[in-house]
Structures are given as C-alpha cells and as structure tokens.
Structure 1
Amino acid sequence: MLQFNQISKQFGGLKVLQDVSFTVPQGGIFGMIGPNGAGKTTVFNLLTGLLRPTGGQIVFNGKDLGAVAPHKITELGIARTFQNIRIFKEMSLLENVVVGMHDHLDYGFAGLLFNLPGFRDAEAKARERARELLSWVRLDHKAHLLAESLSYGEQRRLEFARALATEPKLLLLDEPVAGMNPSEKTELMAEIVNIKQRGFTVFLIEHDMRFVMGLCDRIAVLNFGRIIAEGTPDDIKTNPEVIEAYLGKEEA
C-alpha cells in the first residue's frame, strides 16, 4: 500500500532522515519506533504533505505523493491523528465526527445557503454515519455531550472516529498512547485491533515499545534518521542494533 523509497529530509545542514526505505502492507498494523529525535514525526509530516522530501520517492497505492497537496492526500485515502489531541472541545462528539466528513458531503453552496432538501438529506446521512463511527469506538452513548467532558482516553477514541470519518484507506496514528495509564493503553490497543478488523490499514509511530510489540504485525526501527531494523516483533526484540539504540552499548 505504501512505499518509502530512499527518502531523505534535510533542514539546512541538518539531516533528519537519510535514505529511509520501508513498505507498509495493506490490511495490517505497521509500527515505527525509535528514540526521541529519531525522525518519526518527520516521516508522518512527509507522508501527509506537510513537508517535502529532499530526496527519494513516496508511493501510495501506486501514486507518487511528491507534489500532492495535503488536502488531496486526504482525498486519496490517508488520515492522521496527532500526538497532541486536536478535537473541538466546545462541540459535541457527533459534531466533531461530522466535521471529518466535509469532503464527502455533496450538496453545494446553494443547498447550504437555502437549506435545500439535498443539504438536509446529506446532513442526515452524515449524522447517521457519525453515530455508527462513534459506536465503533464505544462512544455512541455520549454522542450529544460536549467533547470537553470526555476523559483523556475517550478524547483519543473520538479523534480516531473523526479520522475514520474521512473514509481513509490508511490511518496514521501519531503516538496514540502518549500520556495514558496502563488501563487506557490496553483499551486503546483493543480499539486499534477493532479498526484493523474492519478493513483499515494502520500505521503508527510510538515510543512505548511494549505497546507496539503487542499490537503490530511488522515494525520498523528508526534511529538518528536511519532505518536500523524492520521485521516482525520477534525479529525486532532480539535485534542487537535495536537493543543498543534503546539500552545503550555496554562498555568493554
């Protein structure tokens, strides 16, 4: 589904990524781990068009994303959540999810301005779909509450529902368990598995190695802007370079 081919990113004299290559297969959960400053968030910013690579090629479902605008990348089927939760706290859960559907609502400016039947039908269908997505993340019983009333873990699940409202083929999760306690992490792991089982492909970046090892089908490890390992969780946890990157090299 997704290929990074020899991707490099440089800011002035600072090389953030160097010849990064990996493949995200369709239908699974792919994880990228690495210490702070390894370049993980830069990978997501390149993939979503917020940054452009200095060199190399990013291919999504056969299409080169090199010159594609961020909103067009969303239309192609890539959605993202952020490490810092970005929901509209003064809006209801239902309204938050409907916002994510704006690219798929076809009623025109006149329909909106004059409240025409086409607009009302589209709004009704959007709200029905939003309730369905909220049920996927077990928040449908709170659909009409303000988002600010949710716990931290519930806000993260709402963000998932809003991302899914864009009808993505690939869902990007940026450090989804940052700031969570063990119980919330376990609940969120189940939510991500549920998303996968509904036919979505998931690509997440995360610091929590235990979480990633228990969830992902394949994992890539980024360190100082380079991929040092890629494989199954069993491959990664026994890789000497990965152990050194996380634990340091033992002095002789």
Structure 2
Amino acid sequence: MLQLKNVSRHFGGLKVLQDVSFAVPSGGIFGLIGPNGAGKTTVINLVTGLLPPTSGDIHFQGRSVVGRAPHEITHGGIARTFQNIRVFKEMSLLENVVVGMHGLLKYGTGGLLFASRGFRAEERRARDRARELLSWMKLDHRADEIADNLSYGDQRKLELARALATEPKLLLLDEPVAGMNPAEKTELMREIQNIQGRGYTIFMIEHDMRFVMGLCEQIAVLNFGRIIAQGGPEQIRNDPQVIEAYLGRDDEEVPA
C-alpha cells in the first residue's frame, strides 16, 4: 500500500534520512523502530506531505505523493496521529470526531447558511458516524463530555477516532502509547488490532519494544537515518545489528 524508494531528507548539511526503502503491505500492521533521533518522525512527515524528500519517491497505492499538499494526501486516504496529543480539549468528544469529517461533508455554503435539508442530513450522518467511531474506542458513553475530562489514555483513543473519521485507507501512528501505563497500553493494543480487523492498514513508529513486537507483523529498523534491518518480530529481535543499535549489546537481555 505504501512504498518508500531510496528516500533521503537533508537539512542543510545534516543528512537525517539516507536512501530509505521499505514497503507497507496492505491490510497489515507495520512498525518502524529505532533510537531517538534516528529519523522516524521525519519519515511520517514526508509521507503526509509536511516535508518534501530531498531525493527518492514515495508511492501510496501505486501513485507518487511527492509534491502533493497535506490536505490532498489526507483526502487521498492517509491519516495520522501525533506524538503529542492534539485534541480540542474544550470541545465534546463527538465534536472532536466530527471535525475530522470536515472534508467529507457534502453541502455548500448556502446549505450551511440556511440550514438546508441536505445540510441537516449531512450533520446527522456525521454525528452517527462519529458515535460509531467512538464506540470502536469504547468512548461512546462519554460522547457529550468535553475532551479535557478524559484520561491521558482515553485522549489517545479519541485522537485515533478522529483520525479514522477522515475515512483513511492507511493509518499512521506516531508513538501511540507514549506516556501510557501498562493497562492503557494493553487496551490500546486490542483497539489497534480491532481497527486492523475492520480492514485498515496501519503503519506505526514506537519506542515500546514489547508493544511493537506483540503487535506488528513486519518491522523495519532505522538507525542514523538508514534502514539496517527488516523482517518479522523474531527476525528483528535476533538481528545482531538491531541488538547493538537499539536493544542493547549481545550480552544484554533482549526484551521478550
């Protein structure tokens, strides 16, 4: 579904990414891991159009997204969450999710100004879909509460529901369990698996190795801006370069 082909990104003389190539298969959960500063978030920023690559190409469903604006990429079927939670804390959960549907609602300025029948129908449809997405995250019973009342973990789930509101084919998760406690991580792992089961493709970057190894079917490892390994969890867990670069040296215990 997503393919990076020899992608590099330089900031002046700083080479953040160098000839990065990997493919995210349709319908799977793909993980990109690596130490701090390896360039993982830069990869997501390139895929979503926030940054252009210095060289190389990025294909989504067989077509290049290089040069396309972020909103065009979103409308094309790619959604993302962020490392730092970005919810509208003074809005209700329902309103937060409906905001994600803004580009999909089918009414003109006239319909908005005069509250036409078409406008009202679209609003009902959006709210019904928002409640459905909140139910996926087990938050529908709190739909009318303001987002600021939610725990940290539930705000993460709300952000996921809002990303799904754009009707993506590919969901990008930037460190989805950062700051979560173990119980919240376990719950979110189940929710992500449920999202995949509904037909979505997921590409995530994450530091929590137990989370990545327990969830991702394929993993690529980024170190100093280069891909040093790719494969399934067992292959990555036992790769000598990965052990030294990310998990520790050979004589240290590798997380299960």
TM-score, normalized by the shorter chain, greater than 0.5? yes
Q: Counterpart amino acid of 1:193?
A: Q
Aligned partner of residue 91 in structure 1, secondary structure:
coil
Equivalent in the alignment of 1:185: 185
The answer as to whether partners of 2:175 and 2:206 remain within 8 angstroms in 1 is: yes
Distance 2:129 2:115 in 1: 20
TM-score normalized by structure 2? 0.97
Partner of 2:231: 231
Partners of 1:30 and 1:243 in 2: CA distance: 19
- Tell me the residue number matched to 1:113: 113
Listed one character per residue, the Cα deviations across residues 6-61 of structure 1 (whole Å, up to 9, x for unaligned) are 00000000000000000000001000000000000000000000000000000000
Q: Residue 165 and residue 250 in structure 1: after superposition, are their counterparts in 2 closer, same or farther (change >3 A)?
A: closer
Partner of 1:160: 160
Kindly provide the amino acid, as one letter, of the partner of residue 132 in structure 1. Answer: E
Matched, 1:42 2:55: no
- 3-state SS of paired residue (1:58): strand
Counting aligned pairs with the same residue, the percent is 72
Cα separation, 2, equivalents of 1:66 and 1:179: 32
SS in 2 for 1:97: helix
Matches within 5 A, 1:55-204: 55-204=55-204
Partner secondary structure for residue 168 of structure 1: coil
Q: 5+ residue gaps in structure 2?
A: 252-256
> Structure 1 length normalisation: TM-score?
0.98
Partners of 1:189 and 1:66 lie apart in 2 by 31
Deviates more, 1:241-250 or 1:30-39: 241-250
Q: d(CA) in 2 for partners of 1:248 and 1:32?
A: 17
Alpha-carbon shift at residue 67 of structure 1 (Å): 1.1
Q: Tell me the distance in 2 between the aligned counterparts of 1:187 and 1:226.
A: 32
Partner amino acid for 1:75? H
C-alpha deviation, 1:249, in angstroms: 4.8
User: Aligned pair count?
Assistant: 251
**Cα RMSD over matched residues?**
1.0
